[in-house]
Amino acid sequence: MGIYLKNIDLKGKTALITGATKGLGRGAAIAIAEAGGNIIAIGRNQSELNTLKKEVKKFKVNYLPFNCDVNNYNRMKLFISKLKKLDILVNNAGTNIPEPFLKVKKSSMETLLNVNTKSVFNVAQLCANQIIKLKRKSGSIINISSIFGLVAGQKRTVYSMTKFGVEGLTKGMALDLAKHNIRVNSVCPNIVLTPRTKKYFADKKYNKYIKENTPMNKVVTVSDVATSITFLASEAASMITGASIIIDGGWTAK
Amino acid sequence: MLKKINLKNKIALVTGAGKGLGKACAVALAEAGAKVIILSRTKSDLIKVNKIIKKTKGSSKSFVCDVTNLDDLKKVLNKINRLDILVNNAGNNRPQHFTKVSQENMEYLTNLNMKAAFNVAQLCSQKMVKAKNRREIGGSIIHMSSQLGRVGCEGRNVYNMNKFGVEGLARGMAFELAPYNIRVNTVCPTFVETPMVKKFFKNKKFKSKMLKNIPLGRVAKESDVATAVAFLAADSSEMITGTSLLVDGGWTAQ
């Protein structure tokens, strides 16, 4: 800590990350560990949870994995209510099933609403209650949103509905949790190259669409997003709440 | 995975660097490793800031300059060879009810907060794009905006007009400078403990009314804003452009 520059430092803090084994969640877990934070990783794949352990442990922080589907409310509730330490939530688990509006299946709509909206709400509520119960001095919740939480995109009606919702939830939570000194923000990345989005990038037309809409003409990396998440998690961002960090190379500025 | 706030080998120019936020930004950028060029109208202020930067083992150079004087500004910028970062900070406020705003105040604020901000940004951008390796090393321009660049507030109509304008300028610039890998963003703080705000807060009724509008229940510290500026200046925010980083304790989330 300098006179005016606050470091991105998470020593002594504990962060719970959902969807922690792949893509942005995995990136956030590693970046937070790198900043000194202890990691509680929620994921559905045991072997990936084990692999993450090796990557996180390099930074000499604690690692607690929990093999669980975030949609399983009762198991999540029991687990979170028993945590002895919790300061940070990276509310990341989410998915997408791109379909044109007229063809959206009822089942895909329900899947997206369950994962991206209901579970995001439930995990946030459970963690906020636990942070308050543990009487932590401060807390930080980062909801993973998207540029499609701010603008529309092709075949993204349901995704936009859920991510615009996350933006609203973020602001509402920020107001309700301010008196507990828990800050709530979102990050809104452009389409990041992750295991889930690999197939989109494989489509030449879509690839062109992404490049043409990104003035910086570069693809956002997992590290770009993980860095913003870690910044928001830390005291370096202690007056930032109810905000969205947009990591989109200028997509939404147009 | 984590991109630290590191400005080694970067040259940064900060306007209005003698006091308040400009001073804090100058010191923070120096603390992150940048060589800092500071501009202010007041020589004695510049000497003080140089001393603080020296104490933190940073490096700085100062020029007395009134940014509203275009000839003066051009003369100073001609003495600078290279520039990677601009913190376009110089600004002021003279609150008055809309029906009572004097021509003099409207002209003064608009000349400083908009015209000079535009001129500084344009001249510095022209310098930045000239560097042959600009695409490779990138550049970053941060405009000091305000929460009042996003929402209205009593007695702030001219300031609102100016800062909303700066928000627009930042987006336009982001689009046009993206091909050079120069990013352009704004920082939107709430009330900060600066000499300017201390003056406004002598009015106790105004102070308590404003504090009620900040969900976190406190004003921002200069270090909160300076850290956000350093984050946007560094490669930590490599894919963030055309956006506003709100440092407002939740003011605009409501």
Q: Return the pLDDT at B47.
A: 98
Core vs surface per residue B103-139: b (16+ CB within 10 A) or e: eebbeebbebbbbbbebbbebbbebbbebeebeeebb
Cα separation, A206 vs A190, whole angstroms? 13
Q: Chain A: nearest CA to B99, how far in angstroms?
A: 33
Cα separation, A119 vs A36, whole angstroms? 28
Q: Which domains does chain B have, with CATH numbers?
A: 11-192+221-249 (3.40.50.720)
Q: Chain B: nearest CA to A173, how far in angstroms?
A: 10
For residue B237 the two structure tokens come to 């925010």
Name B85's bridge partners: B12, B140
Mean pLDDT of B115-138: 97
What's the first-to-final CA gap in chain B, in angstroms?
34
CB within 8 Å: A190 and B223: no
Judged by a CB distance cut-off of 8 A, whether residue B134 touches chain A is: no
Q: Return the pLDDT at A196.
A: 84
CB within 8 Å: B243 and A252: yes
Judged by a CB distance cut-off of 8 A, whether residue B207 touches chain A is: no
CB within 8 Å: B5 and A34: no
- The closest alpha carbon to B137, from B233, B59, B231, B228, belongs to B233
For residue B45 the two structure tokens come to 């202020």
pLDDT tens for each residue of chain A, 254 residues long: 789 999 999 999 999 999 999 999 999 999 999 999 999 999 999 999 999 999 999 999 999 999 999 999 999 999 999 999 999 999 999 999 999 999 999 999 999 999 999 999 999 999 999 999 999 999 999 999 999 999 999 999 999 999 999 999 999 999 999 999 999 999 999 999 888 888 888 999 988 999 899 999 999 999 999 999 999 999 999 999 999 999 999 999 98
Cα separation, A231 vs B3, whole angstroms? 10
Scan for tokens 């939830």, then name that residue: A169
Q: Which residues of B touch A3 (CB under 8 A)?
A: 27-28, 31, 52, 56, 223
Judged by a CB distance cut-off of 8 A, whether residue B171 touches chain A is: yes
Q: Return the pLDDT at B77.
A: 97
* pLDDT tens, residue by residue, B3-34: 999 999 999 999 999 999 999 999 999 999 99
Cα separation, B131 vs B117, whole angstroms? 22
CB within 8 Å: A178 and B25: no
Cα separation, B50 vs B198, whole angstroms? 24
Cα separation, A156 vs B49, whole angstroms? 50
Mean pLDDT of chain A: 96
How does DSSP classify residue A232? Answer: H
Best residue of B239, B244, B251, B254 to probe chain A, by most A CBs closer than 10 Å: B239
Q: Chain B: nearest CA to A77, how far in angstroms?
A: 28
With H, G, I as helix, E, B as strand and everything else as coil, classify residue A107. helix
Long-range pairs, B157-164, Cβ under 8 A, ≥24: B157/B98, B157/B101, B158/B94, B158/B96, B158/B101, B158/B105, B158/B106, B158/B109, B158/B110, B159/B93, B159/B95, B159/B109, B159/B113, B161/B110, B162/B91, B162/B109, B162/B110, B162/B113, B162/B114, B163/B113
Q: Which residues of B touch A224 (CB under 8 A)?
A: 3, 237-240
CB within 8 Å: B3 and A227: yes
Q: Return the pLDDT at A82.
A: 98
Q: Return the pLDDT at A254.
A: 86
List, as one string, the DSSP characters of chain B: -------TT-EEEESSTTSHHHHHHHHHHHHTT-EEEEEES-HHHHHHHHHHHHHTT-EEEEEE--TT-HHHHHHHHHT----SEEEE---------GGG--HHHHHHHHIIIIIIHHHHHHHHHHHHHHSTTHHHH-EEEEEE--GGGTS--TT-HHHHHHHHHHHHHHHHHHHHHGGGTEEEEEEEE-SBSSHHHHHHTTSHHHHHHHHHT-TTSSPBPHHHHHHHHHHHHSGGGTT--S-EEEESTTGGG-
Cα separation, B192 vs B247, whole angstroms? 10
Among the partner-chain residues A4, A27, A215, the one whose CB lies closest to the CB of B31 is A4
> How many CB contacts within 8 angstroms connect chain A with chain B?
174
- In this prediction the ipTM stands at 0.91
Name A71's bridge partners: none
Judged by a CB distance cut-off of 8 A, whether residue B226 touches chain A is: yes
Mean pLDDT of B90-101: 95
Neighbours of A107 (CB within 10 A): 9
Judged by a CB distance cut-off of 8 A, whether residue B237 touches chain A is: yes
Neighbours of B184 (CB within 10 A): 30
Among the partner-chain residues B5, B56, B240, the one whose CB lies closest to the CB of A8 is B5
Give the predicted TM-score (pTM) of the model.
0.94
Spell out the alpha helix ranges (H) of A82-136. 106-112, 120-133
Amino acid (one-letter) located at A210: I
Among the partner-chain residues B31, B181, B247, the one whose CB lies closest to the CB of A240 is B247
Best residue of A1, A3, A5 to probe chain B, by most B CBs closer than 10 Å: A5
Neighbours of A188 (CB within 10 A): 26
Scan for tokens 């990345």, then name that residue: A189
Q: Chain A: nearest CA to B186, how far in angstroms?
A: 12
Judged by a CB distance cut-off of 8 A, whether residue B197 touches chain A is: no
CA angle A97/A103/A104 to nearest 5° reads 40
Residue of chain A with shortest Cα separation from B229: A5
Region label for A247, one of left (φ > 0), alpha (ψ between -120 and 50) or beta (otherwise): beta
- How does strand B11-14 pair with strand B85-88? parallel
Q: Return the pLDDT at B16.
A: 98
Judged by a CB distance cut-off of 8 A, whether residue B152 touches chain A is: no
Q: Return the pLDDT at B195.
A: 86
CB within 8 Å: B227 and A240: no
* pLDDT tens, residue by residue, B158-197: 999 999 999 999 999 999 999 999 999 999 999 999 988 8
CB within 8 Å: B175 and A215: yes
Active site residues of A: 159
Cα separation, B215 vs A78, whole angstroms? 31
Q: Return the pLDDT at A195.
A: 86
Q: Chain A: nearest CA to B220, how far in angstroms?
A: 6
Cα separation, A160 vs A83, whole angstroms? 33
* pLDDT tens, residue by residue, B203-228: 999 999 999 999 999 999 999 999 99
Q: Which domains does chain A have, with CATH numbers?
A: 14-246 (3.40.50.720)
CB within 8 Å: B224 and A217: no
Are the C-beta atoms of A88 and A10 separated by less than 8 Å? yes
Q: Is B202 exposed, middle or buried (0-12, 13-18, 19+ CB in 10 A)?
A: exposed
Judged by a CB distance cut-off of 8 A, whether residue B229 touches chain A is: no
Q: Is A195 exposed, middle or buried (0-12, 13-18, 19+ CB in 10 A)?
A: exposed
Q: Return the pLDDT at B196.
A: 83
